[in-house]
Amino acid sequence: MTQHILDIDSPCFLREQQLAGPADLTAAFAGDGPLSLEIGCGLGDFMIELAARHPDRNFLAIDIYNKGCLKTCRKIEAAGLENVRVMRIEARYLMARYLTENSLAAVYINCPDPWPKKRHRRRRLVNDAFLRNLLHYLQPAGDLFFSSDFLDYAEQVAEELSGLSGYENRLPQALVTEFPDYPLSNYMRRFLQQGQPIHYLHYRKTPSAVAAPAPLGAVQPGFRVAWSQPGHA
């Protein structure tokens, strides 16, 4: 997908060109709190609420859509939050290039593209290989939160997690449709208002789990761009 890119001139926006390697990611934050990652921040509503609740933690919000990153940055600035950074980057590419072992205290993945057609389901972000890889980057006792408005996707992820050593379920059952106090994205709120349930999962990395990064194949940034102004990156 080719996107017309609007320049994001915000102190909370982190460009890949600013990073020389994984160590630079933690240096992007003023505080030294634990780092959590939201994959697919959308318009930023979920992240704004979460980061405001936990000023002692650092949050990296990523998305592949430029407009979503721009709107998220604007909301972060309006809320006066200093513990959030935003990147326009693909999740697997971020993991392969800029994350280190045991670097994430939590990961949030809310309503990713379900690719509902059967022939397209191999394109889903969260699958067995992704979950095995993520285990390497989660801290011991680090949390994975996943939600989907598409039951088939939630059931697939729950089944894969239940079969992986190193994850333990933190809910009374594999997935639930009521998750009190969990922040809502604009997308999630819209579906709930239409009477469509959101399916939630919460798993935790077991303290004794040891995982090497799983091979993901050739990892690419995941998008093509058409810059609005020459020289901007």
What domain range is 180 assigned to?
2-227
Whether 115 maps to a domain, the answer reads yes
Q: Is residue 232 part of a domain?
A: no
| 3-state SS string for the chain | CEEEECCCCCCCECCHHHCCCHHHHHHCCCCCCCEEEEECCCCCHHHHHHHHHCCCCEEEEEECCHHHHHHHHHHHHHHCCCCEEEEECCHHHHHHHHCCCCCEEEEEEECCCCCCCHHHHHHCCCCHHHHHHHHHHEEEEEEEEEEECCHHHHHHHHHHHHCCCCEEECCCCCCECCCCCCCCCHHHHHHHHCCCCCEEEEEEECCCCCCCCCCCCCCCCCCEEEECCCCCC
Say what the pLDDT of residue 218 is: 52
Tell me, what's the pLDDT at 25? Answer: 85
Domain contains 206: yes
- For residue 144, which of 98, 175, 121 has the smallest C-alpha distance? 175
Q: Is residue 102 part of a domain?
A: yes
Place of tokens 């000023």: 55
**Mean pLDDT, residues 133-152 taken together:** 96
> What pLDDT score does 30 carry?
86
Q: Name which of 84-88, 127-131, 219-223 the model is least confident about.
A: 219-223
Residue 39 resides in a domain: yes
If you average pLDDT over residues 152-157, what whole number do you get? 96
Is 128 noted as a catalytic residue in this protein?
no
Give 27's pLDDT tier (boundaries 50, 70, 90).
Answer: confident
Residue 57's pLDDT is: 97
Residues 204-215 have a mean pLDDT of 80
**Which range among 18-32, 107-121, 147-161 has the greatest average pLDDT?**
147-161
Neighbours of 83 (CB within 10 A): 20
Give the predicted TM-score (pTM) of the model.
0.90
pLDDT tens per residue across span 172-200: 999 999 999 999 999 899 999 999 999 99
**pLDDT given for residue 3 in this prediction:** 57
Catalytic residue among 113, 128, 143, 181: 113
**Residue from 219, 174, 165, 183 nearest 201 by CA:** 174
**233 in a domain, yes or no?**
no
Number of domains in the chain: 1
Report the CATH number that the domain containing residue 90 is assigned in CATH.
Answer: 3.40.50.150
Domain assignment present for 168: yes
How far is C-alpha 132 from the chain's CA centre? 16
In a domain, 136, yes or no: yes
